[in-house]
């Protein structure tokens, strides 16, 4: 997983409303709507569930430590969605203890390995990689006007690509997988095929060939400029959760409104929706 840098996120807080409007132009749905689409909820239902939900974002100093503005940015995205989100005054264990003691509904925190949201009532954990993959796959489904029966290429078969492939398979896409590590693609095909019996999944071995016959792309690699201008086809739609962006500046200019990319917004929105989209489980 690529570690975000402050420059990757410093633009987010002042641009949340504009970004949500940009997503609506590109996909037909705003940020909240894409999260709903990933969780099969309607916007009113999610808005009702999110409002007044108190979420504590806990900074974590472990490993490579704090990323400047990371916690503030997560809290701002949650607040934009209608939650009551605050950043804990204390970090790590003290912050977690405060979230429990102060009666928060959920907490969110990230170390160098995982970024999670934890529902403190239902004891449910939602992972950012899974949520990000599902959220960008949902955006691709919306950009395609419904991905059922369409050919989709998933570039990168890590946790984000795997989650995206699962959602695309669940929506009836004909999914091709490509990873520099072919075994990773084989593993994702097995997991997704086992889960969605009807899944139509193939493995590609060559990037240029794969891009030459797939219009709908989920770019989930940690490699910059995977898709160059020379590989962009007319009518191509790209949802790119990969950090850094796996689409070159030239290719991004050619794709224009047919490219969706961000570094935190969609993933955090789907984490919040996923937390509260399931009925609260009975206490054990
Ligand atoms: C969650 C992001 C998405 C892409 N890479 C992931 C990343 O950068 N993870 C590290 C997050 C560290 C946060 C730090 C803090 O400020 O609390 N521990």
Q: Is 1 in the pocket of ligand 1 (CB under 6 A)?
A: yes
Q: Is 158 in the pocket of ligand 1 (CB under 6 A)?
A: no
What pLDDT is stored for residue 276 in this prediction? Answer: 80
What pLDDT is stored for residue 91 in this prediction? Answer: 98
Q: Is 13 in the pocket of ligand 1 (CB under 6 A)?
A: no
Q: Can you tell me the distance from the alpha carbon of 34 to that of 272, in angstroms, rounded to the nearest whole number?
A: 12
Element (H, E) at 99: helix 92-101
Which residue, 211, 216, 270, 222, is CA-closest to 245? 222
Judged by DSSP in three states, 117 sits in strand
Q: Which atom of ligand 1 is nearest to the CA of 264?
A: 3
What pLDDT is stored for residue 280 in this prediction? Answer: 40
How many CB atoms lie under 10 A from the CB of residue 205? 10
Give helix 265-277 / helix 128-143 axis angle, nearest 10°. 100
Question: How close is the Cα of 272 to the center of ligand 1, in Å?
Answer: 17
The reply to whether 6-128+266-275 and 131-262 are identical in fold is yes
CA-to-CA separations, 72 to 15, 82, 87, 95, 133, in angstroms, rounded: 14, 15, 6, 14, 23
Q: Cis bond leading into 244, ω under 30°? A: yes
What pLDDT is stored for residue 278 in this prediction? Answer: 58
Which residue's C-alpha comes closest to atom 7 of ligand 1?
3
Contact yes or no for 168/141 (Cβ under 8 A): yes
Question: How close is the Cα of 19 to the center of ligand 1, in Å?
Answer: 21
- pLDDT, tens digit only, all 284 positions of the chain: 789 999 999 999 999 999 999 999 999 999 999 999 999 998 998 999 999 899 999 999 999 999 999 999 999 999 999 999 999 999 999 999 999 999 999 999 999 999 999 999 999 999 999 999 999 999 999 999 999 999 999 999 999 999 999 999 999 999 999 999 999 999 999 999 999 987 789 999 999 999 999 999 999 999 999 999 999 999 999 999 999 999 999 999 999 999 999 999 999 999 999 998 754 444 44
Break the chain into its structural domains and give their ranges: 6-128+266-275, 131-262
Which CATH fold topology does 131-262 show? Answer: Rossmann fold (3.40.50)
Say which CATH architecture domain 6-128+266-275 belongs to: 3-Layer(aba) Sandwich (3.40)
Rounded to a whole number, what is the distance in angstroms from the first to the last CA of the chain?
Answer: 34
Q: Can you tell me the distance from the alpha carbon of 159 to that of 179, in angstroms, rounded to the nearest whole number?
A: 12
């Amino acid at each position: 997983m690529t570690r975000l840098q402050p420059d990757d996120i410093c633009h987010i807080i002042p641009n949340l409303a504009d970004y949500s409007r940009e997503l609506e132009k590109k996909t037909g749905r705003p940020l909240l709507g894409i999260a709903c689409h990933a969780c099969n909820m309607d916007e009113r239902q999610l808005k009702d569930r999110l409002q007044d939900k108190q979420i504590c974002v806990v900074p974590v100093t472990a490993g490579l430590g704090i990323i400047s503005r990371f916690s503030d940015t997560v809290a701002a995205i949650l607040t934009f969605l209608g939650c009551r989100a605050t950043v804990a005054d204390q970090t790590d264990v003290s912050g977690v203890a405060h979230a429990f003691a102060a009666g928060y509904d959920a907490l969110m925190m990230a170390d160098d390995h995982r970024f999670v949201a934890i529902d403190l009532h239902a004891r449910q954990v939602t992972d950012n990689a899974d949520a990000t993959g599902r959220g960008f796959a949902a955006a691709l489904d919306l950009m395609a006007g419904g991905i059922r029966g369409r050919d989709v290429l998933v570039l990168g078969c890590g946790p984000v690509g795997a989650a995206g492939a699962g959602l695309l398979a669940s929506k009836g896409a004909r999914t091709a997988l490509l990873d520099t590590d072919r075994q990773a693609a084989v593993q994702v095909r097995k997991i997704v095929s086992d889960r969605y019996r009807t899944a139509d999944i193939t493995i590609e071995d060559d990037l240029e060939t794969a891009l030459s016959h797939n219009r709908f792309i989920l770019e989930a690699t940690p490699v910059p400029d995977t898709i160059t201008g020379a590989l962009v086809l007319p009518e191509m739609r790209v949802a790119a959760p990969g950090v850094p962006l796996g689409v070159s500046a030239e290719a991004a200019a050619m794709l224009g409104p047919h490219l969706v990319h961000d570094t935190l917004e969609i993933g955090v929105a789907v984490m919040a929706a996923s937390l509260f989209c399931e009925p609260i489980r009975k206490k054990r």
